[in-house]
A and B are shown apart, each in its own frame.
Chain A
Amino acid sequence: MSNRNIKILSFITLVAVFALLPLVLSTYRLGLVTSALILAMLAMSANLLLGYLGLASVGQATFFGVAAYAVAIFTRHWGGASWSAMGVGLLAALATGLVVGPLAIRTRDIFFLVIMLAFCQIFYGVTYRWRSVTGGDDGLPGLARPDLIPGLNLNSPVAFYGLVVLIFLLVIGAFWLLVNSPLGLALKGIKDSETRMRALGYNVWLYKYLTFLISALIGGISGVLHAYFYGCPNPADFSLIHSSSALLMVILGGPGTLFGPLVGSLIIVFVRDIVSSFTDRWLIFLGLAYVCTVLFFPAGLLVTLRKWRKDAR
């Protein structure tokens, strides 16, 4: 079977699994899967920068949080839940990317990393202090979900799960098309050697900027869904835990792969659920997960497991 057929087959299997899950899982577990899918999209936005430009962003939560707040503020001030709020959320994330991007992509390596960290914290600080608009650390509770189609309310967990799955599949499909398009190939070239691509006549800056914007948009999609899922954006949306978890999920699953972020986010979300059922101090376990990933699966779980299987043969 050709590589392409395998991809299509695994995609169909994935859709089938997603369709069956609501029949098998309890509402609570379905919520966990929903949450993992949302975070997987945040991880994908980090993966785009990391796997295809070689830039580690410790600030993806910037777009996530901005989109979440934009949805809630728009819904609050312009009366009632509506689909347009989602659009506003995405536009807000994109606008943030437009402004932050030129500053961030000027830098490389460690400087990119600390700059994204700093920007994320600016937004955290602003949302924390600007009480009149953002509600400070109380957040903006009571965000209502719009009707999926007239009559079918998204408040049902299964309907919301369905929407998230649909959007996730669209995003992952678009991601696949993107990285296999001429743009994606140019990105791989840039990752290998920026100088060479520049010599070939590519406008490297523009490619990087575009990628940054797409990454901001994917992060925004994740943030919008997150806002609806919890119904209450709060400053913690900008937290370092979100930003760094996105990176952890990518590494855990395998950077530069299509399904790596999903595998990573499922692991983290379920491990978090199990650990927090017996202790409040689950960050210790998250920290241990970081350390163990680095020590035992530095190339990503999928890649390492594949290697082990090969060695066993």
Chain B
Amino acid sequence: MEFWIIQTLNALSFAMLLFLLCAGLSLIFGLMNILNLAHGSCYLIGAYVAFSVDNWSGNFFLGLLSGAVAAGAVGYILQRFLLRRVYGLRLLQVLLTFGCMFIIGDLAIIIWGADPTTLRKPEWLEGAFNMGGIVFPKYRLFVIAVGLFIGIGLWLFQEKTKWGAILRASVDDEQMARAVGINVPVLFTTVFVLGVALTGLSGVLGGPFVGVYPGVDLDVLLLAVVVIIVGGLGSMKGAFFGSIIVAALDNFGKALFPELAMFTIFAPMAIILALKPTGLWGRVL
């Protein structure tokens, strides 16, 4: 029993990390129809900048903030100066974002070196909680809390606020949104930057348990890709439940059949794909 509770909590903390990672990717795709393959690079930038700031200031939350801001800045440059030129041209977007992924990954090696590191947790999140005999790391509970908090916040924002309504209207019918006076280009840039900043945040939060290393950009991009295949691209619900499914498969797969670790994620992905090519909650394009 204890095994199952701990593994479930583990899966849940990983799921929340994945959700933060994929929310931005999904939001950007849903609104702009852009698949940002430099998404993993934004995670990497967030994690590395937080690492430097944390080392310099000794303050985890300053690191968290600066990681998100740095990723957002990269996103701004990407959207404002590059992606805007290839709006609607899928293949060119792919090449462009791939190119940026290579550039950012290599720049990170020049700046931070090629050795893997991990981010430090803040002191009060070190150690573990003891909940009636079940010992669980505080930091992972913190990640679950942050993920749920942001998830609920995003949901409330989308469903209950005026800005959310504007966002939904632009996703549904961009032309009409322009016609009723919504400044769509500004909305695009804002959402892009926010989505990418969220990814940077996931990089900082993931830093202490996933680690930061050259190539992490591709690793997390791949996880994000699997989540959006399973959950459906462009849907926030898909990103949320897709993250939970993938995290559960990954976690229980690794715990129960360690030698099949790769297949426990990818085999279900292939099955879902065969049955429903747009993902479980995906929009038909």
Residues of chain A touching chain B, judged by Cβ–Cβ distance below 8 Å, are 50, 56, 58, 102-103, 106-111, 113-115, 117-118, 121-122, 125-126, 129, 240-241, 244, 247-248, 251, 281, 283-284, 286-291, 293-295, 298
Cβ contact within 8 Å between B262 and A125:
yes
Q: Which residues of the other chain, A, contact B269 by a CB distance below 8 angstroms?
A: 118
Query: Once the chains are docked, how many angstroms separate the CA of A244 from the CA of B266?
Result: 21
Q: Which residues of the other chain, A, contact B273 by a CB distance below 8 angstroms?
A: 103, 106-107, 115
Contact with A along B77-106 (1 / 0, CB 8 A): 000001001100111101110111111111
In the A-B complex, the 9 residue pairs with the smallest Cβ-Cβ separation, listed nearest first, are A290-B99, A287-B102, A287-B103, A125-B262, A287-B99, A283-B106, A284-B106, A291-B99, A283-B102
Query: Once the chains are docked, how many angstroms separate the CA of A125 from the CA of B99?
Result: 23
Could you list 23 A-B pairs, sorted by A, with CB under 8 Å?
A: A58-B98, A102-B274, A106-B273, A107-B273, A110-B29, A111-B229, A111-B277, A114-B225, A118-B226, A118-B229, A122-B262, A244-B95, A247-B91, A248-B95, A283-B103, A283-B106, A284-B102, A286-B102, A287-B100, A290-B100, A293-B95, A295-B82, A298-B92
Tell yes or no: B6 within 8 A of A by CB: no
Tell yes or no: B118 within 8 A of A by CB: no
Tell yes or no: B134 within 8 A of A by CB: no
Known: A251-B91, A287-B101, A291-B99. 11 other contacts (CB 8 A): A110-B29, A110-B35, A110-B90, A113-B90, A240-B98, A248-B95, A281-B109, A281-B110, A290-B96, A291-B96, A295-B82
Across the interface, name the chain B residue whose C-beta is closest to A118.
B225
B42 to chain A, nearest CB (A): 15
Q: Of B94, B96, B218, B222, which is within 8 A of A113 by CB?
A: B94
Tell yes or no: B270 within 8 A of A by CB: yes
Cβ contact within 8 Å between B99 and A288:
yes
Cβ contact within 8 Å between A291 and B278:
no
Contact with A along B259-285 (1 / 0, CB 8 A): 001110010011001100110000001
Report the interface size for chain B: residues with CB under 8 A from the other chain: 42
Tell yes or no: B107 within 8 A of A by CB: yes
Query: Once the chains are docked, how many angstroms separate the CA of A122 from the CA of B225?
Result: 12
Tell yes or no: B50 within 8 A of A by CB: no
Cβ contact within 8 Å between B100 and A291:
yes
Q: Of A56, A102, A103, A293, which is within 8 A of B90 by CB?
A: A56
Q: Of B35, B266, B270, which is within 8 A of A114 by CB?
A: B35
Across the interface, name the chain B residue whose C-beta is closest to A58.
B94
Across the interface, name the chain B residue whose C-beta is closest to A250.
B91
Cβ contact within 8 Å between B105 and A294:
no
Q: Which residues of the other chain, A, contact B89 by a CB distance below 8 angstroms?
A: 298
B100 to chain A, nearest CB (A): 7
Q: Of A109, A240, A248, A287, which is within 8 A of B106 by CB?
A: A287
Q: Which residues of the other chain, A, contact B96 by a CB distance below 8 angstroms?
A: 290-291, 294
Query: Once the chains are docked, how many angstroms separate the CA of A103 from the CA of B277?
Result: 8
Q: Which residues of the other chain, B, contact A286 by a CB distance below 8 angstroms?
A: 99, 102
Cβ contact within 8 Å between B262 and A298:
no
Q: Which residues of the other chain, A, contact B86 by a CB distance below 8 angstroms?
A: 294, 298
Across the interface, name the chain B residue whose C-beta is closest to A292.
B99
Cβ contact within 8 Å between A284 and B107:
yes
Cβ contact within 8 Å between A244 and B98:
yes
* Given the contacts A118-B225, A122-B262, A291-B100, A110 and B91 also touching, CB distance less than 8 Å: no
Query: Once the chains are docked, how many angstroms separate the CA of A289 from the CA of B98?
Result: 11
* Given the contacts A107-B277, A298-B89, A126 and B95 also touching, CB distance less than 8 Å: no
Q: Which residues of the other chain, A, contact B105 by a CB distance below 8 angstroms?
A: 283
Q: Which of A113, A248, A284 is most buried by chain B, counting CB atoms within 10 A of its CB?
A: A284
Q: Which residues of the other chain, B, contact A126 by a CB distance below 8 angstroms?
A: 262
Across the interface, name the chain A residue whose C-beta is closest to B93.
A294
A121 to chain B, nearest CB (A): 5
Contact with A along B203-231 (1 / 0, CB 8 A): 00000000000000010001001101100
Q: Which of A117, A244, A290, A295 is most buried by chain B, counting CB atoms within 10 A of its CB?
A: A290
Tell yes or no: B16 within 8 A of A by CB: no
Q: Which residues of the other chain, A, contact B100 by a CB distance below 8 angstroms?
A: 287, 290-291
Query: Once the chains are docked, how many angstroms separate the CA of A155 from the CA of B11?
Result: 52
Tell yes or no: B233 within 8 A of A by CB: yes
Query: Once the chains are docked, how many angstroms separate the CA of A298 from the CA of B96?
Result: 10
Query: Once the chains are docked, how many angstroms separate the CA of A287 from the CA of B29?
Result: 22
* Given the contacts A111-B278, A121-B222, A284-B102, A290 and B95 also touching, CB distance less than 8 Å: yes
Query: Once the chains are docked, how many angstroms separate the CA of A290 from the CA of B99?
Result: 5
Cβ contact within 8 Å between A291 and B82:
yes
Across the interface, name the chain B residue whose C-beta is closest to A104.
B273
Q: Which residues of the other chain, A, contact B229 by a CB distance below 8 angstroms?
A: 111, 114-115, 118
Q: Which residues of the other chain, A, contact B103 by a CB distance below 8 angstroms?
A: 283-284, 287-288, 291
Q: Which residues of the other chain, A, contact B266 by a CB distance below 8 angstroms?
A: 118, 122
Query: Once the chains are docked, how many angstroms separate the CA of A102 from the CA of B271?
Result: 12
Q: Which of B94, B218, B226 is most buried by chain A, counting CB atoms within 10 A of its CB?
A: B94
Query: Once the chains are docked, how many angstroms separate the CA of A50 from the CA of B92?
Result: 12
Across the interface, name the chain B residue whose C-beta is closest to A100.
B270
Across the interface, name the chain A residue whose C-beta is closest to B38.
A287
